[in-house]
Amino acid sequence: MGTKRTAEFRQEAVRIALTNGLTRKQVATDFGIGFSTLSKWIQQDRKNSEKPTAQTELERENAGLR
């Protein structure tokens, strides 16, 4: 059975995967997780309508800088 990751760890991996410009495969390798695990976390993040996605946060930050 795999290691249980904290919510903060998952959020950071998803944030970097969506905003850094690296491939998801590279992000997964850098974080020491499987590609399918990272993909699952990204899908879960996008389905979570209660909180803004990392992309939405980035768009808001960019708008504030303009």
30-57 tens-digit pLDDT: 999 999 999 999 999 888 755 555 666 7
Structure-token match 């850098």, residue found: 30
In this prediction, residue 60 has a pLDDT band, given cuts at 50, 70 and 90, of: confident
**Residues 6+ positions from 22 with CB-CB distance below 8 Å:** 16, 30
- Determine, yes or no, domain membership for 60: yes
In this prediction, residue 27 has a pLDDT band, given cuts at 50, 70 and 90, of: very high
Residue 58 has pLDDT above 80, yes or no: no
pLDDT of 46: 84
pLDDT of 55: 64
- Determine, yes or no, domain membership for 43: yes
- Determine, yes or no, domain membership for 1: no
Q: Does the reported pTM lie above 0.75?
A: no
Q: Taken in order 59, 43, 14, 52, is the CA torsion positive or negative?
A: positive
Enclosing domain of residue 33: 7-65
User: How far from 10 is each of 30, 41, 49, CA to CA, in Å?
Assistant: 13, 7, 17
Q: How many domains does the chain have?
A: 1
CB 53 within 8 A of CB 46: yes
